[in-house]
Amino acid sequence: MKEGSSIINTTSVNAYKGNAKLLDYTATKGAIVSFTRGLALQLVERGIRVNGVAPGPVWTPLIPASFSEEECANFGKQVPMKRAAQPIEVAPSYVFLASCPESSYITGQVIHPNGMLGLYIATLLKLKLICYP
């Protein structure tokens, strides 16, 4: 890759909050976060930026194909915005990291288009309204 290039990895909100039902998925998404940071350190001297995007729940073909009807009906309701995202709502994160001059100083970072899910969970934990093992 040439200087000025940008690599964008996809991780997940699950990498940060955990998910007992999706342990293998969650573990690999957590590994992608570490990989993103390590690769950013390796490539910074070559002028290549490496970042990630960690979406919250997003409606994709995978959801109805792998979830029950009841799970689909409740998909995204745990998010403070009370809904899952559409792919078009997450896509600008990738465009920003890939092509905007304003992102040229960003590397080794992860953007979180998650409907405030991560902050919401952290706040509930801090207030001891939920517990995390």
**pTM above threshold 0.85:** no
In a domain, 131, yes or no: no
In a domain, 1, yes or no: no
CB atoms within 10 A of CB 112: 20
Rounded Cα distance, 14 and 28, in Å: 10
User: What are the start-end ranges of the H helices in 1-133?
Assistant: 14-17, 23-43, 62-66, 69-74, 87-99, 117-126
CA angle centred on 124, ends 68 and 17, rounded to 5°: 50
Are 80 and 74 in contact by the 8 Å Cβ rule? The answer is no
Is 25 one of the catalytic residues?
A: yes
Instruction: Note down the domain range covering 29.
Output: 6-126
In this predicted model, what pLDDT tens digit does every residue of 55-106 receive, in sequence order?
999 999 989 998 999 999 999 998 888 899 999 999 999 999 998 788 999 9
Dihedral sign for Cα 62, 67, 72, 74, please. negative
Query: Which member of 16, 25, 105, 132 is catalytic?
Result: 25
Number of domain units in the chain: 1
In a domain, 98, yes or no: yes
CATH of the domain at 64: 3.40.50.720
In this predicted model, what pLDDT tens digit does every residue of 12-54 receive, in sequence order?
999 988 888 889 999 999 999 999 999 999 999 999 999 999 9
